[in-house]
Structure 1
Amino acid sequence: MHTLIRTSALALAAAATLVAGCAAQSNSASIYTPGQAQREQTLRFGVVETVREVLIQGEQTGAGTIAGGAIGGIAAGSTIGNGGGSVAAGVLGAVLGGIAGSMAENKISQRRGLEITVRLDNGDMRAIVQDADEAFRPGERVRLLSSGGTTRVTH
């Protein structure tokens, strides 16, 4: 009974670590960090040439690998075999759980984005990738806001 409670508590802690580690920084044109607020931005105007859907990959924190490894190791080690067999099962469970956890973190942290190609009024072309939280269509007039290496496309 104590093993089941301990296993459940460790699995819950590992899952909480995974969820906390998946918080991703936004690439939305509508969200600013406190450090970006009240900063002057360069403003340019142009017309949308093309819009392409992309996936934005979040940062890999390692939380998925750690959580999956802990859950897999505990689950396999506490339920399979005795003695050396239990240790071997725990190691294999940890490896497989770590791989599965890493894959889960990778999938959870992905989000939809847009690659927006804009022809500026001076004829230059720019392509910006940002979160797909605003719709853009070819031919639309847009603004490009740039500051500190970050450019946003807005209406």
Structure 2
Amino acid sequence: MVSLRTTRLQATAGALAALLILGGCAQGLGGGAYSRTEARRAMTVQFGTVESVRGVQLEGTKTPVGTVAGAAVGGIAGSTIGGGRGQAVATVIGAVAGGLAGAAVEEGVTRTQGVEVTVRLDNGQFLAVVQADEGEGFRPGERVRVLRDAGTTRVTR
């Protein structure tokens, strides 16, 4: 028979997994991804030629969600150990360890592949832009557009 503590632990672990999966879907760092606030804003457009492309890794998100969810799971797991003061200590240790593990899991699950595209602009300047790899497959020698506005730069076809 499944105990109430086991059921709580499974429910909390499921909630943590769902939050981390949703957090991974929230990224939009590619050339074709725009935030809502970027709509209807003028952008400067420059043209150039791709000089080089290399794969990079974009670190994952580091929000409190992973830490808090991990701490909850760890605290619940720790509370199932022992009794009295030993149980209280195990709960605290479980919560701290769970928080650290939850933060690491969130960062790892939301980590994505990216590309660094170096472009020689038509004015002779070089520009390197890092963005999510959305399968654009930029190639050296290809003509591209570089779009810029306040704080955002992207390379597109």
Q: Same fold (TM over 0.5)?
A: yes
- TM-score tier, shorter chain, comes to 0.7 to 0.9
Q: CA RMSD in A?
A: 1.9
In structure 1, the residue matched to 2:102 is 101
Alpha-carbon distance change, 113 to 88 in structure 1, aligned in 2, over 3 angstroms: same
Aligned counterparts of 1:81 and 1:3: Cα–Cα separation in 2 = 13
For residue 10 of structure 1, report the CA deviation from its aligned partner.
3.8
Aligned counterparts of 1:94 and 1:67: Cα–Cα separation in 2 = 9
Conservation of the 8 A alpha-carbon contact between 2:60 and 2:110 = yes
What residue ranges of structure 1 are gaps of 5+ in the alignment? none
For residue 116 of structure 1, report the CA deviation from its aligned partner.
0.7
Please list, as runs of the form range in 1=range in 2, the aligned pairs for 1:68-83 lying within 5 A after superposition.
68-78=70-80, 80-83=81-84
Aligned counterparts of 1:120 and 1:42: Cα–Cα separation in 2 = 13
In structure 1, the residue matched to 2:30 is 28
Conservation of the 8 A alpha-carbon contact between 2:20 and 2:110 = no
Structure 1, residues 18-62: CA drift from partner, whole Å, max 9, x if none?
444445331111122232223222111111111121112243111
Structure 1, residues 71-103: CA drift from partner, whole Å, max 9, x if none?
11111221x212111111111111111111111
In structure 2, the residue matched to 1:118 is 119
What residue ranges of structure 2 are gaps of 5+ in the alignment? none
When structure 1 is superposed on structure 2, of 22-31 and 65-74 the one drifting more is 22-31
| TM-score w.r.t. length of structure 1 | 0.87
When structure 1 is superposed on structure 2, of 25-34 and 46-55 the one drifting more is 25-34
What is the letter of the counterpart of residue 28 of structure 1? G
The answer as to 2:71 corresponding to 1:60 is no
In structure 2, the residue matched to 1:135 is 137
| TM-score w.r.t. length of structure 2 | 0.86
Conservation of the 8 A alpha-carbon contact between 2:61 and 2:106 = no
Structure 1, residues 90-120: CA drift from partner, whole Å, max 9, x if none?
1111111111111101111211111111111
The sequence identity of aligned pairs, in percent, is 48
Structure 1, residues 98-150: CA drift from partner, whole Å, max 9, x if none?
11111101111211111111111110111111111111111111111112221
Equivalenced residues, count: 154
In structure 2, the residue matched to 1:48 is 50
Conservation of the 8 A alpha-carbon contact between 1:26 and 1:131 = yes
